[in-house]
Amino acid sequence: MELNRSRFITFEGIDGCGKSTQAKLLMETLNNEGCKTVLVREPGGTRVSEAVREILLTKGMDELEHRTEALLMTASRAQLTDEVILPNLDNGNWVIADRFADSTLAYQGGGRSLDVEWLIKLNDYATAGLTPDLTVFVDIMPEEGQRRREANNPDRIEKAGVDFQQKVRKMYHVIAKRFAERIFVVDGHETIENIQRNIWQEITRRYFL
Ligand code: ADP
Ligand code: TYD
């Protein structure tokens, strides 16, 4: 197995699709293969970004404007990029992100109907142009996502319901087509083990063969 540089891999999908499960499994696999790997999640992952996350998700701020939401999501991303993602990539580590820039396109673009071209520019500014090497889009039907989340407490965005998740999913499909080289779509309805195998096959095909 050959390895000559670090990689940045992001996981995307609607709420409850199973991406956190897969992100963690991939981190463990890569670490077992000797690729030092760190896992981050958005919004959050730094002191500043966790404070922003509180405003976005847990403080019950229902009056938040959609543009404000987009700016706070990307503010959290800017801090995480500079403080954690870029330094780790520079040190030769792999970085896995549980959500990144595509979440803003899907949720604030698809879900909240903000202009996607503006959001792409905003993401670019927030990430200083950093683009993932690979994005895994775990695709499931909104009803299934809701079933899987039923046990948990919904946060402000998750509370928006199945219609909202449907709009988000639609936009994920649009961006998966637009950035087809970078985005790998997996069927999230399969078993955890099958999904894990499909993702690992794609990664070995791209980087280790
Ligand atoms: P997300 O991070 O996308 O919100 P999680 O990985 O936290 O989703 O998974 C949500 C719930 O669904 C968890 O209880 C998890 O164990 C379960 N789950 C994850 N993947 C699958 C799967 N492929 N099939 C059935 N249940 C799953
Ligand atoms: P989280 O509890 O991390 O959920 P999940 O396990 O589904 O990732 O909540 C993150 C929520 O924030 C989720 O509903 C998606 C939303 N979000 C956006 O709306 N825009 C963004 O740019 C990001 C990163 C997340």
Cα-to-centroid distance, 42 and ligand 2 (Å): 7
Which domain does 127 fall in, by range?
8-208
In this prediction, residues 170-191 reach a mean pLDDT of: 98
Domain presence at residue 3: no
Question: Sheet containing 37-41: which strands, arranged edge to edge?
Answer: 37-41, 94-98, 8-12, 134-139, 183-187
Does 2 have pLDDT greater than 60?
A: no
pLDDT tens digits, 72-92: 999 999 999 999 999 999 999
The Cα–Cα gap between 137 and 185 comes to 5
pLDDT tens digits, 92-150: 999 999 999 999 999 999 999 999 999 999 999 999 999 999 999 999 999 999 999 88
Domain presence at residue 48: yes
Cα-to-centroid distance, 202 and ligand 1 (Å): 20
CB-based contact 168:106 (threshold 8 Å): yes
Q: Model's pTM, two decimal places?
A: 0.96
Closest CA to ligand 1's atom 6: 18
Cα-to-centroid distance, 25 and ligand 1 (Å): 12
The Cα–Cα gap between 41 and 103 comes to 12
pLDDT grade for 5, boundaries at 50, 70 and 90:
confident
Domain presence at residue 102: yes
User: Quick check: CB of 192 below 6 Å from ligand 1?
Assistant: yes
For 2, 48, 114, 170, the CA distances from 174, given in Å and listed in that order, are 34, 31, 15, 6
Cα-to-centroid distance, 19 and ligand 1 (Å): 7
Looking at residue 41, which CATH number applies to its domain?
Answer: 3.40.50.300
Q: φ, ψ for residue 97 (rounded to 5)? A: -115, 125
The Cα–Cα gap between 165 and 195 comes to 21
Q: Which residues have any ligand 2 atom within 6 Å of their CB?
A: 15, 20, 41-43, 57, 73, 99, 103-104, 107-108, 155, 157-158
Domain presence at residue 1: no
Neighbours of 82 (CB within 10 A): 15
User: Quick check: CB of 17 below 6 Å from ligand 1?
Assistant: yes
* Listed residue (129, 143, 130, 122) closest to 68, CA to CA: 122
The Cα–Cα gap between 130 and 100 comes to 11
pLDDT grade for 4, boundaries at 50, 70 and 90:
low
Domain presence at residue 171: yes
Domain presence at residue 170: yes
Output the pLDDT for position 150: 80
The Cα–Cα gap between 73 and 164 comes to 18
| C-alpha R_g of the chain | 16
Domain presence at residue 2: no
Neighbours of 131 (CB within 10 A): 14
Number of domains in the chain: 1
User: Quick check: CB of 24 below 6 Å from ligand 1?
Assistant: no
